[in-house]
């Protein structure tokens, strides 16, 4: 039931009025349709976007409530601003659209005999009468001015975004009678194909977790697909597209760890369903800034950790050949059987119907890096001889606030102004007394990043180099140790450790009908005939 909001709620929602641009109007009307549980929505633009129509098969507006629907701060949705359960809630969208040149609303709830029509011109109701109408609502708006050039494309991008978060919605979009988008509600994978394109969407793997009243449904990109900004990541909370909070970006970067180069982000979509107390939404006109509770962030982190632990993230060869892309499998890590070595630099291995090419240097780097990281976790071991570390004035000032992080790695004590005496350090650093003071200062200046970089450098030095021959047993041992790593798919610097080539791609390239395991020797395809050269 539509009703005016009380004054305290009006004051709370007054910050930031509803915008009247074409894109904003489409968003508000689409959200109204989704709130009305519509399964089918049609969006039409005419005259370059000066006229907009949005039609849905949702619950509809009762005839008697149509005039109230265009009144300011009137809504049927908001009861408690702390427990928002709908996309729209401010009660301002239809009121703002009623200030346009003309607004026409035709609606009928399924239980109502006959529909209702409301005509509004520049904020004044001109007619309110009964008319024949199908179940649902159709809103037509004629703006006073034509939108700016490029607005139609912005609307298309907006609709694709909403399909990522409502992939079962049947959505149609027409401009000047021409169909620009016809989506049959085919699910998240098809919505991702629409957003990211066919090639990139094949490089996404699913993530799903449910528990404690929370649900995550997501698609995230494999390591071979990334970009230098987070613009390819889309998040929704309870169906609402929202901006990515910094905490979520941090969780994603932590999940990918060394799988991506520094400064790179994955592509993907994350749809979170949360109970009201697990997030807080800013109540402005855009309704896109959200803060997750610590419980919600912990749920997301655990979902990502479990997904990455169970996914085969070996990069696929050749990357431009679509048929080489493997279908996503539930269980991930293959058992690699050593086949041989190529140019004393790459190991060849097989698992099932997949051929793997392993960079022996990158693989050994990853193994050594994780061993060093475990030794760091063991804490500092006493040094044979204490070392003095001089500190710059800025470093000395930071010492109290960084003391907890430093003591996880070093045992030390103050030794006069601007100096500390190192008494203990991770055992693998003991052979490098000249390096120890610099490592201490790096950790003091910048938590985590410098230490990880140091471990990566230390792992690189003794790792197997290109041109180093390996016997059968040594090659198999290297493969087994790599697959036992926490993150076997990339070296500490972000380069891939192994690439995969599916048998299906080899069959296609060689023109065979099937592989040996698929039915014996396949007959070759007949090569295409070429035109005979005239004498």
Residue 526 covered by a domain: no
Q: Which of 449, 466, 224 shows the shortest CA–CA distance to 343?
A: 466
CATH code, domain carrying 250: 3.30.230.10
Residue 84 covered by a domain: yes
Find the radius of gyration of the CA atoms of the chain.
30
pLDDT at 4: 54
Q: H or E element: which one contains 56?
A: strand 51-56
Examine the domain organization and report whether 457 and 341 are in the same domain.
yes
Q: Which of 322, 326, 355, 328 shows the shortest CA–CA distance to 339?
A: 355
Residue 456 covered by a domain: yes
Q: Which of 311, 388, 317, 320 shows the shortest CA–CA distance to 354?
A: 317
How many residues belong to the chain? 535
pLDDT at 310: 80
Q: How far apart are CA 451 and CA 493, in angstroms?
A: 13
192: left (phi over 0), alpha (psi -120 to 50) or beta: alpha
Which residues make Cβ contacts (< 8 Å) with residue 131, sequence separation at least 6? 106, 114, 115, 116, 117
Residue 400 covered by a domain: yes
pLDDT at 277: 86
Sheet with strand 268-273: strands edge to edge = 204-211, 214-221, 268-273, 233-237, 240-242
CATH code, domain carrying 51: 3.30.565.10
Examine the domain organization and report whether 151 and 254 are in the same domain.
no
pLDDT at 324: 36
pLDDT at 364: 94
Tens digits of per-residue pLDDT, 295-338?
999 999 999 999 988 887 877 654 443 333 332 233 467 899 99
| Strand duo 102-108 + 136-142: pairing | antiparallel
Could you give the C-alpha distances from 456 to 367, 449, 461, in angstroms and in order?
A: 11, 11, 9
Q: Which long-range contacts (CB under 8 A, 24 or more apart) does 505-511 make?
A: 505/318, 505/321, 505/323, 505/324, 506/355, 508/321, 508/323
Return the sign of the alpha-carbon dihedral for residues 215, 217, 223, 229: negative
pLDDT at 52: 96
Residues of the chain with confidence (pLDDT) below 70 = 1-20, 73-85, 88-91, 283-287, 316-332, 446-450, 514-535
Examine the domain organization and report whether 33 and 166 are in the same domain.
yes
The domain total for the chain is: 3
pLDDT at 3: 52
pLDDT at 374: 87
Q: What share of the chain is helix, strand, coil (3-state, %, to 5)?
A: 35, 25, 40
Residue 513 covered by a domain: no
Residue 194, both tokens: 């629409």
Examine the domain organization and report whether 432 and 301 are in the same domain.
no
Examine the domain organization and report whether 157 and 223 are in the same domain.
no
CA angle 225, 231, 237 (to 5 degrees): 105
Note if the bond before 431 is cis, omega within 30 degrees. no
Range of the domain at 381: 337-498
Backbone angles phi and psi of 474, in degrees to 5: -65, -40
Residue 440, burial from CB neighbour count under 10 angstroms (0-12, 13-18, 19+) = buried
pLDDT at 317: 57
The strand pairing partners of 170, in sequence order, are 40, 184
Examine the domain organization and report whether 460 and 343 are in the same domain.
yes
Q: Which of 74, 82, 96, 85 shows the shortest CA–CA distance to 6?
A: 74
SS3 (DSSP) at 255: helix
Residue 431, both tokens: 């052979």
Q: H or E element: which one contains 396?
A: helix 393-407
Examine the domain organization and report whether 206 and 296 are in the same domain.
yes
Q: Which of 314, 203, 310 shows the shortest CA–CA distance to 266?
A: 203
pLDDT at 463: 87
């Amino acid at each position: 039931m539509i009703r005016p909001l009380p004054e305290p709620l009006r004051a709370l929602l007054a910050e930031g009025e509803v915008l009247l641009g074409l894109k904003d109007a489409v968003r508000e009307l689409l959200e109204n349709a989704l709130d009305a549980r519509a399964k089918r929505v049609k969006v039409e633009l005419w005259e370059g976007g000066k006229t907009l129509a949005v039609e849905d098969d949702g619950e509809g507006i009762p005839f008697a409530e149509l005039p109230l629907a265009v009144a300011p701060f009137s809504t049927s949705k908001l009861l408690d601003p702390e427990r928002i359960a709908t996309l729209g809630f401010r009660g301002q969208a239809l009121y703002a659209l009623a200030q346009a040149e003309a607004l026409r609303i035709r609606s009928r709830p399924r239980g109502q005999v006959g529909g209702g029509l409301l005509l509004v011109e520049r904020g004044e109701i001109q007619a309110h009468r009964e008319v024949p109408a199908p179940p649902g609502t159709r809103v037509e708006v004629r703006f006073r001015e034509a939108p700016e050039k490029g607005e139609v494309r912005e609307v298309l991008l907006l609709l694709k975004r909403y399909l990522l978060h409502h992939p079962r919605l049947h959505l149609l979009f027409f401009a000047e009678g021409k169909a620009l988008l016809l989506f049959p509600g085919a699910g998240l994978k098809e919505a991702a194909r629409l957003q990211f394109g066919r090639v990139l969407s094949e490089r996404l793997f699913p993530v799903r977790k449910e528990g404690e009243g929370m649900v995550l449904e997501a698609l995230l990109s494999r390591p071979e697909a990334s970009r230098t900004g987070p613009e390819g990541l889309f998040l929704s909370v309870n169906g609402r597209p929202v901006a990515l909070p910094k905490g979520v970006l941090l969780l994603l970067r932590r999940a990918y760890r060394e799988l991506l180069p520094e400064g790179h982000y994955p592509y993907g979509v994350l749809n979170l369903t949360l109970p009201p107390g697990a997030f807080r939404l800013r109540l402005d006109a855009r309704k896109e800034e959200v803060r997750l509770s610590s419980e919600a962030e912990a749920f997301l982190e655990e979902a990502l950790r479990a997904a990455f632990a169970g996914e085969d993230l070996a990069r696929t060869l050749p990357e431009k050949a679509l048929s080489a892309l493997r279908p996503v499998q539930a269980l991930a890590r293959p058992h690699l059987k050593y086949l041989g070595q190529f140019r004393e630099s790459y190991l060849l291995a097989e698992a099932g119907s997949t051929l793997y090419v392993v960079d022996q240097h990158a693989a050994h780097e990853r193994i050594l890096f994780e061993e060093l990281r475990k030794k760091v976790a063991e804490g500092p071991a006493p040094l044979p001889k204490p070392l003095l570390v001089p500190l710059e004035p800025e470093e000395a000032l930071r010492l109290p606030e960084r003391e907890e992080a430093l003591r996880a790695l070093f045992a030390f004590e103050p030794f006069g102004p601007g100096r500390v005496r190192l008494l203990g350090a991770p055992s693998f650093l003991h052979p490098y007394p000249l390096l120890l003071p610099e490592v201490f200062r790096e950790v003091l200046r910048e938590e985590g990043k410098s230490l990880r970089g140091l471990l990566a450098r230390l792992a690189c030095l003794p790792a197997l180099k290109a041109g180093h021959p390996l016997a059968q047993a040594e090659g198999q041992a290297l493969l087994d140790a790599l697959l036992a790593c926490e993150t076997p798919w990339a070296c500490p610097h972000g380069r891939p450790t192994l690439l995969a080539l599916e048998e299906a791609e080899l069959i296609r390239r060689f023109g065979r009908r099937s592989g040996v395991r698929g039915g014996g020797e396949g007959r070759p395809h007949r090569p295409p005939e070429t035109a005979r050269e005239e004498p």
